[in-house]
Amino acid sequence: MTLQLTVPSMSCSVCASKITQALQAVDANASIQADPTTKLVNVETQASETAIKEALAAAGYPVA
C-alpha cells in the first residue's frame, strides 16, 4: 500500500530522519520518502494506515 501524508511539523532533514526511523519501527521493509520542503511523506508499506499515522503522532509528527 502506498500512502502520501502531509506532516506540517516536518521542517528539516533531522525531522525527516526521525520520521523515517519511526516508520521503520512499524515496518522495517517500508520504503519511505520524507521531504521537508513540501512536508510530504510517501510510504510504501504493508502496515495499516492507522499504524503509520499512530507512529508519526507518537514521534511528535502528527499527520494533518
Please, what is the average pLDDT of the chain? 97
Q: Residue 56's pLDDT is what?
A: 97
Q: Residue 30's pLDDT is what?
A: 97
Identity of the amino acid at 61: Y
The ranges assigned to domains in the chain are 2-58
CA dist 59 and 3 (Å) reads 18
Q: Residue 39's pLDDT is what?
A: 97
Q: What's the whole-number mean pLDDT along residues 22-36?
A: 97
CATH of domain 2-58: 3.30.70.100
Q: What's the whole-number mean pLDDT along residues 42-61?
A: 97
**Confidence category of residue 45, pLDDT binned at 50, 70, 90:** very high
